Amino acid sequence: MALTLERKFILSTLLVLGLWASEAMSRTLYEASMSERHEQWMADHGRVYKDNTEKEMRFKIFNDNVQFIESFNSAGNRPYKLSINQFADLTNDEFQASHNGYKIPSHPRLSNATPFRYENVTAVPTSMDWRKKGAVTPIKDQGQCATDGTCNTKKEASHAAKIGGYENVPANSESALLKAVANQPISVSIDAGGASFQFYSSGIFTGDCGTDLDHGVTAVGYGTTADGTKYWLVKNSWGTSWGEEGYIRMQRDIAAKEGLCGIAMDSSYPTA
């Protein structure tokens, strides 16, 4: 049965109105549920804002981060996942500012004359996990020195000063780093400033990151996944809710000699 032109017009107008209303409705529902998620997140992380203006500003950032994380995960084209964590109300700039304190390497490179004690190592195990050998202390939490600029760099420095001495791993060589990590946990420097690093949750991290070293971590092992991806097992200091119980597995043996996020650029090991 043919509809009259007038009826067609009325029907399509109703349809458009209906769509518009349901879109507005679902947007409102989305915002309401996002606001609930923000409230819940604030409770979980003990976050308190000084006033509503700050809360609205933080909510907007939280919302943007959740959307970034969810679209990253649903794209599913990377071997790692992101998740909402304690950094979810920080912009990536704020996150970087709160974790850098490391722009200058913590120690000078030693002269080339200093021997690399593992240089003559010829065979290394196919995998290593120093945690299983009881050689790794529990994960620390540097704390939220985010936003308030109270990052304790002195504490880190005095910690380093307790070490009797140190030797460098030859720079820009993942194979040298491998020899070293096969023998002991190694302090490494990385570029940890990217948004994907900020929200890393699990899997093999493949970037994005540059080589602007801004963070000190410890390589405590290495291995290869079932699908053949080689990785470094890296201990971070952002608490156990970040990454894989406080650890990250970072892709190993990449084309660039600096290693992923510059992991092979500035490594050292304590010599007691």
Ligand X SMILES: *[C@@H]1O[C@H](CO)[C@@H](O)[C@H](O)[C@H]1NC(C)=O
Residues at the contact surface with ligand X, assessed by CB under 6 A: 115, 117, 119-120
Structural contact between residues 47 and 144, judged by C-beta atoms closer than 8 angstroms? no
Which of residues 52 and 120 has its CB atom nearest to ligand X in the complex?
120
In the chain, DSSP assigns E strands to: 80-82, 128-129, 165-168, 186-190, 200-205, 215-224, 230-235, 247-251, 268-271
Which of residues 52 and 122 has its CB atom nearest to ligand X in the complex?
122
Which of residues 78 and 117 has its CB atom nearest to ligand X in the complex?
117
Residue 143's CB: how many other CB atoms inside 10 A?
A: 14
Backbone conformation region of residue 83, classed left if phi is above 0, alpha if psi is from -120 to 50, else beta: beta
Of 91, 85, 92, nearest to 208 by C-alpha is 92
Least distance in angstroms from the C-beta of 98 to ligand X: 40
Least distance in angstroms from the C-beta of 121 to ligand X: 9
Of 113, 97, 213, 104, nearest to 151 by C-alpha is 97
Which of residues 37 and 117 has its CB atom nearest to ligand X in the complex?
117
Least distance in angstroms from the C-beta of 116 to ligand X: 6
Least distance in angstroms from the C-beta of 118 to ligand X: 8
- The closest residue (CB) to ligand X is 120
Which of residues 18 and 115 has its CB atom nearest to ligand X in the complex?
115
DSSP state of 66: H
Least distance in angstroms from the C-beta of 120 to ligand X: 4
Least distance in angstroms from the C-beta of 47 to ligand X: 50
Structural contact between residues 152 and 102, judged by C-beta atoms closer than 8 angstroms? no
Q: Please state at what angle helix 5-44 crosses helix 52-75, rounded to 10 degrees.
A: 110
Amino acid at 258: E
Which of residues 41 and 116 has its CB atom nearest to ligand X in the complex?
116
